[in-house]
Structure 1
């Protein structure tokens, strides 16, 4: 007789929500028939919560770190002009390095954004003249570049020499932000917070990227040393040899910070030229600074005529040339006879060439305008000119105008798009071979470097900051001129419609400057130089090397372990296969 087999049973405790009232009263276990293939209902895959829920969950988990990152971003703002508390840049780098350490790449990216958004919101607050929506929008876009950087910091924090890779990732972030979108927006680089600091002379070797690298490396080294000392303190090992590596890291940070003092900054002049800088002033600050037609032009003509009177009376010496700012002529002098006559009168009266900033209708492209610097000779009139190569998106031209104008009516305030120039701004103005750079172009490494490499003996930054007067923006732009002076070993003259106009020596020091919203004329003996710095010769190579070094280190954090596992598996495979084969032969 075959043994009895007990069928498998499933115990079900039915509840009131799934049974009738009578069935729910019976709480005894009941046997059910085994399920067949046709009776099985596939279990739907578990859904992951959507990204807003995941983000909120991460915020709840990491809110202290988020708050600290935001505070670090706010603390980074006063590192820049007009405050110039540059050590804050070191502290912000150190804070983000510590906050991202030990976290996932995703949370590291979030902390990067948490630092970046309040930082750019504060730094770019001068955009409030246009609208706080524009300020917030640009701050968000710029802060998004810190998301991959934060992720990279979290990933590379597990590697040896992670302060080095952290500094490279800061350079990589700025490398990307300087180029995209629409040609990039370099505001807020660590180098621009260190234009009169011990790090500044490094610009003569590797430009702004090397300054950023040194600042970030120093901050990350301080973070490493502080973290090491904290762990030793908690373990009660702070005294003795155990603290030597941490102290060595701090010493290395000091050495990197002081390395700029060992860099020679070339300042010797091959020649000089006498220059007068005319700041004609505007009617009012803000978006409507132009006032009525010819007003700004007449302001600059009047100031130049007064200079000519001072020369005739012997109060000042006659300059070799005169510099006017961007938009000094608010009318096209080639098409408006009254503008032509006014400029020509000023040049003939003062008796020397004038570099005139003017808006000029494009000769062949209907509806476009060019932002130019024009050499105006007192005898022959307008001659050579430079056209701004990098118009400002949404300020001087509107990308996707047809689509965006329907949504943003404010874009109508940019009625015509600026046409970009195609060559550098090397101009012969009287006896001097000058490099013209217009307004925000001073922030872009390549534009300034190409101008110097093509023969400019001094640099002129024609600018119009009347829209952003008394907001801190003119000070931020002037700091960039200071860095460019050291980077290229050139004197830099910033000439503005309403200020700040200034003369910057080749060592980055400010010789003279004007106040904002005043009419003024500065006179100086400008040094002219022919030699090139190391930064001029090596170009963008240090930036690309440092940026890709950081990106490769980040990539290795994911690729390295995979290759190690594959190697281990490949090594284990033949060994296990050999044992199996031996067993088969024995059988």
Structure 2
């Protein structure tokens, strides 16, 4: 017995070392997936996790492997969350500021990693109840991943869909979003990686490798076909939109002096843009961080004098202690208003307030809870109906899809983006590019600190501001009434894939 024990100990040690290397490899591959905007990496970086799934294993092992990959991906994509620090200007001690930033970063990373963990556990369960085979495993695994992402996309925290790895750099593949939203892009990425991993499992089978290359090529050919469709905008539908980027950091803007500075910056630049020929002027989220009163606001008076509609980011009070984060139209004959739908937890509202309110309020700068806007709202502006998003709304394609389906002719987004770095600003731009392409609409983006931009329906950035500067611009965009398949039918691909996968699993058990 002792001799056998001496023989097995090195084998056990060797196996543990191999496990550690595999976990490290999964962490690294997740990080590679998150090296945005290096979009080609996304087409191979999920393959190591797929490799684990194809080989099979226990639920616990599958979950831990997925956790390592997910932490790598979402941690790399969301490192900008750490720029919440410093918060000392809010009266938070230095150590408390560090703790808040670390907690927020850890929480959002683990929340995002939950997608991969749920997927891996689901695939491990399916392996125990059905003999899917390699092709079936790829098909069902793709459907399951998209289904879990769809579930996440209606939740409170959603930013790092696999689709964002392709935007705005790979516009050809982003055009797949016109078919069934951003999850069409996700499906293509997951499927290609799954087939590639089959090749690795089968000793780098050339047949499966060529299948992965072929699937990659087909996805891009479909995207290329959609990308080549002409815009055919009509001169009569042109709108000259003025955009203001105020570049007033929140630590300054949320003071009496900062409010006065914001009023001067936006009022003076509004007058100048109107004088230069703008048909309307767009400002960022929370441009004027005070409670909106149309009757007493200086902007109502200025607009009456100038006559050009102003789309102003501000806070609109409700009948009680709550407020909306809103974009209001200040115009002689219109009073459109859009209220932000997806609020930021801890930043704009306190989750589980009845249970955690007292504790969280000590860690959060919120003084008044915000209420989310209704999905059914419309923004009927003086220049036509717009599809509007405020900041975090940009990650949720169903918000824009519904507004366009109801008649939205162009997209307006207003964001703050302070105190985050250029990487976050560029990712946010990528989110809006997806929305513009998926709905076939021109988009005007106004941000506080950057990157403000104008995007055409094919995702081309026609103009972009420099970050962390005061900037203004007038751009011509066009009203459009086209409807993509996504606008007409929504994210139809996910339920179809899940239904077919269910049939495949049932038949595999017979």
Q: Scaled by the length of structure 2, what TM-score is found?
A: 0.85
- SS of aligned partner of 2:476: strand
The CA distance in 2 between the partners of 1:58 and 1:539, in whole Å, is 47
Counterpart of 1:128? 82
The CA distance in 1 between the partners of 2:493 and 2:217, in whole Å, is 22
Counterpart of 1:178? 153
Aligned 8 A contact 1:204 1:535 in 2: yes
1:290–1:436 distance in 2 versus 1, CA, 3 Å: same
Aligned 8 A contact 2:39 2:166 in 1: yes
What CA deviation, in whole Å up to 9, does each residue of 1:132-160 have, x standing for no partner?
12101221122123212112344667623
The CA distance in 2 between the partners of 1:254 and 1:201, in whole Å, is 14
Aligned 8 A contact 2:294 2:300 in 1: no
Moved more, 299-308 or 453-462: 299-308
- SS of aligned partner of 2:419: helix
The CA distance in 1 between the partners of 2:479 and 2:379, in whole Å, is 14
Give 5+ residue unaligned stretches, structure 1.
1-55, 233-242, 565-587
1:402–1:247 distance in 2 versus 1, CA, 3 Å: closer
- SS of aligned partner of 1:75: helix
- SS of aligned partner of 1:451: helix
Once the two structures are superposed, the pairs formed by residues 56-71 of structure 1 within 5 Å of their partners are 62-71=19-28
Once the two structures are superposed, the pairs formed by residues 377-392 of structure 1 within 5 Å of their partners are 377=331, 379=332, 383-392=335-344
Counterpart of 1:546? 497
1:471–1:132 distance in 2 versus 1, CA, 3 Å: farther
**Cα offset for 1:472?**
1.6
Correspondence 1:255 to 2:206: no
Correspondence 1:280 to 2:243: no
1:479–1:246 distance in 2 versus 1, CA, 3 Å: closer
- SS of aligned partner of 2:346: coil
Aligned 8 A contact 1:194 1:200 in 2: yes
- SS of aligned partner of 1:459: strand
* Residue in structure 2 matching 1:99, options 52, 55, 72: 52
Counterpart of 1:466? 418
1 or 2 for the larger relative contact order (CA 8 Å, sep ≥6)?
2
**Cα offset for 1:186?**
2.2
Counterpart of 1:303? 269
- SS of aligned partner of 2:48: helix
1:278–1:547 distance in 2 versus 1, CA, 3 Å: farther
1:370–1:486 distance in 2 versus 1, CA, 3 Å: same
Counterpart of 1:269? 233
1:247–1:471 distance in 2 versus 1, CA, 3 Å: closer
The CA distance in 2 between the partners of 1:319 and 1:253, in whole Å, is 43
Once the two structures are superposed, the pairs formed by residues 42-121 of structure 1 within 5 Å of their partners are 62-78=19-35, 80=36, 84-106=37-59, 107-121=61-75
* Residue in structure 2 matching 1:187, options 156, 159, 168: 159
* Residue in structure 1 matching 2:307, options 342, 351, 369: 351
What CA deviation, in whole Å up to 9, does each residue of 1:266-294 have, x standing for no partner?
62224111111111220x36x66534333
1:407–1:433 distance in 2 versus 1, CA, 3 Å: closer
Q: What is the CA RMSD across the aligned residues, in angstroms?
A: 2.7
The CA distance in 2 between the partners of 1:383 and 1:535, in whole Å, is 30
Counterpart of 1:290? 254
The CA distance in 1 between the partners of 2:305 and 2:471, in whole Å, is 18
1:257–1:525 distance in 2 versus 1, CA, 3 Å: closer
* Residue in structure 2 matching 1:480, options 410, 418, 431: 431
The CA distance in 2 between the partners of 1:59 and 1:207, in whole Å, is 42
The CA distance in 2 between the partners of 1:446 and 1:547, in whole Å, is 19
Aligned 8 A contact 2:143 2:494 in 1: no
Counterpart of 2:355? 403
What CA deviation, in whole Å up to 9, does each residue of 1:170-211 have, x standing for no partner?
2122112112xxx33221111111124231111111111111
* Residue in structure 2 matching 1:437, options 384, 389, 399: 389
Aligned 8 A contact 1:172 1:548 in 2: no
- SS of aligned partner of 2:472: strand
- SS of aligned partner of 1:334: coil
1:393–1:551 distance in 2 versus 1, CA, 3 Å: farther
The CA distance in 1 between the partners of 2:380 and 2:399, in whole Å, is 18
Aligned 8 A contact 2:387 2:403 in 1: yes
**Cα offset for 1:560?**
5.1
The CA distance in 2 between the partners of 1:186 and 1:544, in whole Å, is 20
The CA distance in 2 between the partners of 1:175 and 1:446, in whole Å, is 10
What CA deviation, in whole Å up to 9, does each residue of 1:240-298 have, x standing for no partner?
xxx4465345333332343311235462224111111111220x36x665343333233
Q: Scaled by the length of structure 1, what TM-score is found?
A: 0.74
Give 5+ residue unaligned stretches, structure 2.
1-12, 85-100
The CA distance in 1 between the partners of 2:284 and 2:203, in whole Å, is 53
Which structure: larger Rg? Answer: 1
Moved more, 327-336 or 352-361: 327-336
Once the two structures are superposed, the pairs formed by residues 309-320 of structure 1 within 5 Å of their partners are 311=275, 316=276, 318-320=277-279
Counterpart of 1:19? none
Counterpart of 2:458? 507
**Cα offset for 1:424?**
4.2
